[in-house]
Amino acid sequence: MSLIIQKFGGSSVADSKRILNVANIIIKSYLEGNDTIVVVSAQGDTTDNFINMANEINPRASKRETDMLLSAGEQISISLLAMAIERLGYPVVSLLGWQAGFLTCATYGSARIEKINPDRIKKELDKKNIVIIAGFQGLNMYGDITTMGRGGSDTSAVALAAVMNADKCKIFTDVEGVFTADPRKVKNAKKLDVISYDEMLELSTLGAKVLNKRSVEVAKKHNVEVEVLSSMNDIPGTIIKEVTQKDKTPICGIAADENVARASVINVPDKPGIAFKLFSKLAGKGINVDIILQSENGENTKDISFTVPKTELEQTIEVLDKFIEPLEKAKIIYEKDVAKISIVGTGMENQVGIASKMFEALYEERINIQMIATSEIRVSVIVSSDEANRALNTIHNKFFGTKDILHNNEG
Amino acid sequence: MSLIIQKFGGSSVADSKRILNVANIIIKSYLEGNDTIVVVSAQGDTTDNFINMANEINPRASKRETDMLLSAGEQISISLLAMAIERLGYPVVSLLGWQAGFLTCATYGSARIEKINPDRIKKELDKKNIVIIAGFQGLNMYGDITTMGRGGSDTSAVALAAVMNADKCKIFTDVEGVFTADPRKVKNAKKLDVISYDEMLELSTLGAKVLNKRSVEVAKKHNVEVEVLSSMNDIPGTIIKEVTQKDKTPICGIAADENVARASVINVPDKPGIAFKLFSKLAGKGINVDIILQSENGENTKDISFTVPKTELEQTIEVLDKFIEPLEKAKIIYEKDVAKISIVGTGMENQVGIASKMFEALYEERINIQMIATSEIRVSVIVSSDEANRALNTIHNKFFGTKDILHNNEG
């Protein structure tokens, strides 16, 4: 007998029909003789609807009350899913985050799980109940409900798999697994059978929306084998696990992130501490700086360039305006319409030429590279937004096969 | 400084505008320097919507999962109301039933409050917070959420007022108080300034939907003074309290209950135990028998007549059919279209002629009385449904003034 944890996202339980579909998947696992734990998100648009209701009353509502409101979403989905399983004739019990023993830090809206006390869950499993648990939510030290931020249910499932020492953690979603690139953008993108934690982490960070990043970190830390698969088609998905040296691939996938903007401060004095001052001011405003490049320009001044999320560009420029006020020659340059294309692979560190192969692909298409950044398992380039799709496809073609540009909007 | 408990029903918090209206009522009490506790029901149609969602998935869902679903309703209303108070700039915290310390018996769907542990509430009042509490819900000994049945929020508020020794318990609703008769049916019905617990109990039982019956029982037991008033108009409502002997009124009000049917078994053998057998069978099916009459008809047989809720008549007849099977001469008679009209007053016991005055009013209108039942503070008659409104009005006129038939549908 195995212990299986299954997680279903909001789109998988969006209406009665889908809830009954999910109930059947769960019962199949239960009938195979497994201890069956299920983590569920709020139904489809529930969270957005709640946010709209709150905004109508108070657009600046406290995070505590927002968490109180939002956590009602999973309460609805777990009880409805339990009712569906009851209807099909199997023993089931639904548990809220606090009932399932999820204790978090005090931070409303983006709480981290600090501890899971699985006593109640174990008691229900001993009674042979299927256990349906509200993801995304927990209880803090004040006895208040907290939520973990978008995608938090993935983390609930993986953390629970770690604590319960589960045999499998299956994350059901609306895609069939992790692909070499976004299948909506690259037609011949291939589903991966296996991907390592580190690669998945890079892909999560880089904009592949399959799995919440925090959940991959938890999976890696506790060595939880996770399978991402579709709740609509009964076929194997992608397994995320520790990959041995010999199984490492040079490239596992290519990600495109459109929420990128580039900003530069040029002609700043070439003095120690200038970069520190700049980035500590940006950090103070909570701005997420990604790639940083610094170059000297030969006249006792230097240029500092970096990328930020497009949505934070306006705030970034405000900070930069203040920063250059006392600096005589300094100027700000920025570019809103850029994208970041990244290739990821744990095998990359053992193999030269990966980066140059990427650059070659871009050169062949005459796509200009604005910035380059590398890590041990990734190479990222910044290109113009209107060339992003062409860049993604030509690189994918270079590494994975036939060239196939799906969305050629470049004119 | 006083401690004031206010309770708002679902229609008072049905939308953003009404929620902000309620927030202002609450803040007014807070600014008068009171410790302010508020008990809230689920918004308008939330509960009905949830029941429809559940029915679509499983019309026979367990009561445990139904309570899990329904209790999300108050979670939504308390957080939205707290957000409204935040917006107006006052300190506030919302608490779920279990956070506010409401412990109930194990019965899902109609749980009774067993204990309230007000530690958290007191802590929040000490911090000068307005405390918004989810009514209708609590926690049972298994650590599961229970609900108290329709109108349960009234009971939450009154029980809390008892435990906290509150100075006032104000039940805000969509009517201005308790009337001598339903103002929708009797045009010149008058609002009462004061009514005793016993009278209110009789009226609650008899179909006046102002206050949940259980909440009146709790108020009487703990001598909590309750005021019923409108959340729309800022005028005094009706106070429910212990009334001294000299303040007792002969008649405080007249109630009409349309959910009544009459059933009779005639020609049953006149033997000991026959009534016991019949009513224990009905009780076994959970059928609520109200008025019971028994008469001998002179041939070693007797007739037993009684009333049940109209909605339980079909089931009643099934029981009666089985009951008379072995009885040779017995027959069943029933009448679906009847109504119960009752006059209620604590002063009645000291005054002769109240009942005869009622019968006189009916006689003057030539309305036939099918059954009569009396208690110390009430007289009820069963009349034909199509004469119910005329009966209500003529009796009201006899005791309270001008005759005024609003809905004369009797043709």
Question: What are the tens digits of pLDDT across the range B279-332?
Answer: 989 988 888 888 888 887 777 888 889 999 998 999 999 999 999 998 888 999
Check if B79 contacts A (Cβ < 8 Å).
yes
Check if A86 contacts B (Cβ < 8 Å).
yes
State the pTM of this model.
0.84
- Nearest chain A residue (CA) to B143: A99
Q: Letter for the amino acid at B237? A: G
Give the span between the Cα atoms of B10 and B18, in whole angstroms: 10
Angle, CA A143 vertex, CA A134 and CA A211 arms, to 5°: 35
Instruction: Say what the pLDDT of residue A406 is.
Output: 43
* Cross-chain Cβ contact A75/B68 below 8 Å: yes
* Cross-chain Cβ contact A69/B54 below 8 Å: no
Query: What is the least distance, in Å, from the CA of B199 to any CA of chain A?
Result: 39
Nearest to A331 by CA among A309, A302, A307, A311: A302
pLDDT digits 0-9 by tens, B360-392? 999 999 999 988 888 888 889 999 999 999 999
Q: Which residues pair with A226 in a beta bridge?
A: A169, A240
Place of tokens 């029981």: B319
Instruction: Say what the pLDDT of residue A407 is.
Output: 40
A132 contact partners, CB below 8 Å, separation of at least 6: A38, A40, A78, A81, A82, A85, A92, A93, A94, A95
Give the span between the Cα atoms of A397 and A225, in whole angstroms: 30
Query: What is the least distance, in Å, from the CA of A77 to any CA of chain B?
Result: 8
Nearest to B339 by CA among B359, B364, B368: B368
* Cross-chain Cβ contact B58/A144 below 8 Å: no
Considering only CB atoms, which chain B residues are within 8 Å of A87?
Answer: 57-58, 60-61
Confidence of residue B409 (pLDDT cuts 50, 70, 90): very low
* Cross-chain Cβ contact B57/A94 below 8 Å: no
- H or E stretch at A131: strand A130-134
Phi-psi region of A101 (alpha: psi -120 to 50; beta: other; left: phi over 0): left
Considering only CB atoms, which chain A residues are within 8 Å of B46?
Answer: none
CB atoms within 10 A of CB B242: 12
Q: Letter for the amino acid at B85? A: I
The DSSP bridge pattern shows strands B226-230 and A301-308 to be: unpaired
Instruction: Say what the pLDDT of residue A207 is.
Output: 57
Domains of chain A: 3-174 (3.40.1160.10), 254-400 (3.30.2130.10)
Q: Which residues of B297-308 are buried (b: 16+ CB within 10 A; e: fewer)?
A: eeeebbbbbbbb
Q: What percent of chain B has pLDDT over 90?
A: 65
Check if A327 contacts B (Cβ < 8 Å).
no
Considering only CB atoms, which chain A residues are within 8 Å of B54?
Answer: 79-80, 83
- Nearest chain A residue (CA) to B20: A57
- Where does A168-210 show beta strands of DSSP type E? 168-173, 194-196
Give the span between the Cα atoms of B309 and B407, in whole angstroms: 23
Nearest to A370 by CA among A411, A404, A341, A329: A341
A332 contact partners, CB below 8 Å, separation of at least 6: A263, A264, A265, A266, A317, A320, A321, A324
Instruction: Look at residue B12 and tell me whether its pLDDT is greater than 50.
Output: yes
Residue of A65, A78, A83 lying closest to B61 (CB–CB): A83
Nearest to A97 by CA among A130, A131, A51, A48: A131
Instruction: Classify residue B330 by its DSSP letter.
Output: -
Q: Which residues pair with B147 in a beta bridge?
A: B137
Which parts of B32-133 fold into alpha helices (H)?
Answer: 46-57, 63-70, 72-87, 119-126
Residue of B20, B57, B72 lying closest to A84 (CB–CB): B57
Instruction: Classify residue A367 by its DSSP letter.
Output: P
Instruction: Say what the pLDDT of residue B213 is.
Output: 86
The answer to whether the beta carbons of residues B134 and B81 sit under 8 Å apart is no
Instruction: Classify residue A405 by its DSSP letter.
Output: B
Stretch B199-219: mean pLDDT, rounded?
Answer: 82
The answer to whether the beta carbons of residues B134 and B75 sit under 8 Å apart is yes
Q: Which residues of B184-198 are buried (b: 16+ CB within 10 A; e: fewer)?
A: ebbebbebbebbbbb
Residue of A43, A57, A123 to mutate when probing chain B, most B C-beta within 10 A = A57
Compute CA A355 distance to the chain's CA centroid, rounded to the nearest angstrom: 24
pLDDT digits 0-9 by tens, B74-115? 999 999 999 999 999 999 999 999 999 999 999 999 999 999
Q: Which residues of B13-44 are buried (b: 16+ CB within 10 A; e: fewer)?
A: bbebebbbbbbebbbebbeeebbbbbbbbbbb
Q: C-alpha distances in angstroms, A114 versus A65, A104, A141, B31? A: 21, 5, 10, 40
Query: What is the least distance, in Å, from the CA of A235 to any CA of chain B?
Result: 26
* Cross-chain Cβ contact B84/A57 below 8 Å: yes
Instruction: Say what the pLDDT of residue A244 is.
Output: 80
The segments of chain A whose pLDDT lies below 70 read 205-208, 349-352, 402-411
Strand order in the sheet with A301-308: A292-296, A301-308, A253-269, A331-344, A378-384, A371-375
Considering only CB atoms, which chain A residues are within 8 Å of B53?
Answer: 16, 76, 80
Burial (CB count within 10 angstroms: exposed 0-12, middle 13-18, buried 19+), residue A203: buried
Token reading at B6: 């206010």
* Cross-chain Cβ contact B53/A16 below 8 Å: yes
Give the span between the Cα atoms of A335 and B153, in whole angstroms: 57
CB atoms within 10 A of CB A142: 13
Token reading at A266: 């040029």
B39-58 residues touching A, CB cutoff 8 A: 50, 53-54, 56-58
Strand order in the sheet with B194-196: B92-95, B130-134, B35-40, B3-8, B168-173, B226-230, B238-241, B194-196
Give the span between the Cα atoms of A137 and A368, in whole angstroms: 45
B134-163 residues touching A, CB cutoff 8 A: 143-145
The answer to whether the beta carbons of residues B401 and B188 sit under 8 Å apart is yes
**What's the complex ipTM?**
0.83
Residue of B65, B71, B94 lying closest to A86 (CB–CB): B65
Instruction: Classify residue B376 by its DSSP letter.
Output: T
* Cross-chain Cβ contact B72/A72 below 8 Å: yes
Give the span between the Cα atoms of A257 and A213, in whole angstroms: 15
Residue of B75, B87, B94 lying closest to A58 (CB–CB): B87
Query: What is the least distance, in Å, from the CA of B70 to any CA of chain A?
Result: 8
Q: C-alpha distances in angstroms, A68 versus A35, A138, A276, B69, B82? A: 31, 11, 39, 15, 10
Check if A65 contacts B (Cβ < 8 Å).
yes
CB atoms within 10 A of CB B117: 12
Check if A84 contacts B (Cβ < 8 Å).
yes
> Which of A323-332, B221-230, B271-280 shows the highest mean pLDDT?
B221-230
Residue of A58, A95, A145 to mutate when probing chain B, most B C-beta within 10 A = A58
Query: What is the least distance, in Å, from the CA of A2 to any CA of chain B?
Result: 26
Query: What is the least distance, in Å, from the CA of A79 to any CA of chain B?
Result: 5
Which parts of A349-410 fold into alpha helices (H)?
Answer: 354-364, 388-400
Check if B72 contacts A (Cβ < 8 Å).
yes
DSSP letters along B255-319, please? EEEEEEEEEEEEEEE--TTHHHHHHHHHHHTT-----EEEEE-SSSEEEEEEEE-GGGHHHHHHH
Nearest to A230 by CA among A183, A170, A186, A160: A170
Residue of B57, B69, B144 to mutate when probing chain A, most A C-beta within 10 A = B57
Stretch B212-219: mean pLDDT, rounded?
Answer: 91
Instruction: Say what the pLDDT of residue B405 is.
Output: 42
**Termini Cα distance of chain A:** 58
3-state secondary structure of B383: strand
HSE-CB of B375 using CA atoms within 13 angstroms: 17
B26 contact partners, CB below 8 Å, separation of at least 6: B6, B36, B38, B85, B130
CB atoms within 10 A of CB A230: 16
